[in-house]
Structure 1
């Protein structure tokens, strides 16, 4: 790993967890954000911050890319396609002499609805939302670029992300937790530490391919809230029928997709999940007192809905 340098487009929640897990402090990590106000939090996480608004690569970005050995991107596609490729495909192709691996963070939303069935990476992608259709196109673009470069590209299809500061404990504390009931509905989820762990596992070994990065236990969302309330020692919010719940169009669209996603391929690649299910993760976060993350004190008053 000596000399490893990582560049991240879209250095947000997962990227900060990734930087915090680096196994060797000599590994340099740079990452982009749209907002310079986020520079201090990236620097605190060990990420050298740069701005990228999708319109082009600055000289600072081009310079950092020239030294990078590993490239990670989590920037969501827009109407024009993948913003990173649109802004700098030729730079990636011709001005990154040290590059040996690319990681692209996608979503299990690319699979669409499979009516609760178990699926793996061989399942048909039949996305229902525009944002997921764009993700399929972006995945293809990055994999095609990798083939052209003779470069391994790992596409990580992520389930719903949670971790410190983003979890049912926080929602219960803030009074925003809901127990929505939709018959037979299940979701997978993934702790941010395991996203970081999988990224390091694949990057260190220069492994390419498509990988589901998700937990072992797809479960009804109301069960997750109920378990968090039990751990906290508070009353869970009342059950609410999905049909009558007040939800944003995006939130409601998530319930239109029902599937159980297997993580067997990434486990076969040698990765052991730190948090194989939400119960293990909630138990650890509560015991460790880090569940609130940067969202406030773990000792804040609890307001159950």
Structure 2
């Protein structure tokens, strides 16, 4: 929920580099308010589906820039960057930084979706947007490099950049209920381990609030009110489904992929005070309990 959002879509156009899970949620909200929606995806099949739904869709990927960036970006008033950096860096920046800089006179709002991984491991301590950035994983380092690149471009070109550091994302089709139902959920226990998370609809609400109350140059943590041990979330999902929770597995004995193991290399509690006080956001799902409860009908019907 956003207090006094006032987001009017007359003559507005949102372009999303990466029309994925989070971007699509914002696009759905803004389209309902009259915004024209455009963006990129990696495959022709998805592009065709988006076009059939009234979205201007363009193909883009690492090593595959927009065919005609001037035409694709023409008329853009709001820009969302949600493509993650790869080994070679941020592909959007590499291919289209100059094209985006030329949007400055018309651009009203620009956002880069980053991650709370830029804070690194804090041993379970709290972090705010003022906490020094000290990533401890390769993904975190890539995100910080991308943040710095976009900040530098924004300063040179006077772009209205906002940075949003997202916690672990869940929502329809991507949640611990689904893991319990399909048998993939595991309760891995590492003493002292806590994660922050955020429902995808609350991400969209935060972005919408920022559009209504822009503060170029600002960074925002996007997470719910209650960091929690991951095994507790799995246990609660099982409880909601009326099923027995998976057995606990000691972290040292868990068979994990290198990427999965890297998530357990960091433990921190992320503060969301700024989105509440500066943007006036009241989370619809302040903890995983409300979020999972709201997803029950969706998951049981799949």
TM-score with structure 2 length normalisation?
0.91
- Cα shift at 1:205: 2.5
* Among candidates 264, 287, 292, match of residue 282 of structure 1: 292
Q: Which residue of 2 aligns with 1:94?
A: 102
Q: Alignment length, in residue pairs?
A: 292
In the alignment, which residue of structure 1 is the partner of 2:163? 155
Change (3 A) 1:56 1:175: closer
Offset of residue 112 of structure 1: 0.5
Could you tell me which residue of structure 2 aligns to residue 182 of structure 1? 190
Consecutive unaligned residues of structure 1, counting only runs of 5 or more, are 293-297, 301-305
1:18 aligns with 2:26: yes
Residues 56 and 88 in structure 1, CA contact (< 8 A), matched pair in contact too: no
In 1, the alpha carbon distance for the partners of 2:142 and 2:162 equals 18
Kindly report structure 1 stretches of 4+ aligned residues shifted beyond 4 Å.
43-46
1:199-218 paired onto structure 2 within 5 Å: 199-208=207-216, 209-218=218-227
Measure, in 2, the Cα distance between the counterparts of 1:67 and 1:54: 24
Cα separation, 2, equivalents of 1:95 and 1:55: 22
Give the Cα–Cα distance (whole angstroms) in 2 for the partners of residues 62 and 104 of structure 1: 20
1:28 to 36, 39, 51: 36
Q: Which residue of 2 aligns with 1:303?
A: none
- SS of residue matched to 2:164: strand
Give the Å deviation of 1:238.
0.6
CA distance in 2, matches of 1:64, 1:97: 17
Give yes or no for the alignment of 1:117 onto 2:125: yes
Question: In 1, are the aligned partners of 2:69 and 2:99 still within 8 Å (CA)?
Answer: no
CA contact (8 A) 1:50 1:61 kept: no
**Counterpart contact for 2:76–2:103, Cα < 8 Å:** no
Residue 137 of structure 2 is matched in structure 1 by 129
Q: 1:271 aligns with which of 281, 286, 290?
A: 281
The 1-side partners of 2:243 and 2:83 are apart by: 37
| Structure 1 residue 78: Cα displacement | 2.3
Alpha-carbon deviations, 1:187-209, whole Å to 9, x = none? 00010001111111112333331
When residues 71 and 299 of structure 1 are mapped into structure 2, their CA distance, relative to the original with a 3 A threshold, is closer
Query: Which moves more between the two structures, 224-233 or 139-148?
Result: 139-148
2:251 to 237, 242, 245: 242
Cα deviation, 1:11-36, whole Å, max 9, x if unaligned, reads 11111211222274420111101111
Residue by residue over 1:38-92, the C-alpha shift from the partner in whole angstroms, topping out at 9 and shown as x without a partner, is: 1245347653211012335434442131210011011111233221111011111
Two-structure CA RMSD over aligned residues (Å)? 1.7
For the 8 Å contact 1:19–1:45, the answer to whether it is kept is no
The equivalent residue for 1:107 is: 115
2:66 is matched with which residue: 58, 68, 71?
Answer: 58
Q: For 2:233 and 2:139, locate their aligned partners in 1 and report how far apart those are by CA, in whole Å.
A: 26
CA distance in 2, matches of 1:86, 1:181: 40
3-state secondary structure, aligned to 2:39: strand
Which residue number in structure 1 is paired with residue 147 of structure 2? 139
CA displacement, residues 192-239 of structure 1 (integer Å, 9 cap, x when unaligned): 001111111112333331100001100010100111111111111111
Q: Which runs of 5+ in 2 are unaligned?
A: 1-7
1:132 and 1:12, CA in 2 relative to 1: closer, same or farther beyond 3 A? same
Q: TM-score, normalised by structure 1?
A: 0.91
- Partner of 1:186, secondary structure, is coil
Matched residues in 1 for 2:78 and 2:17: separation? 11
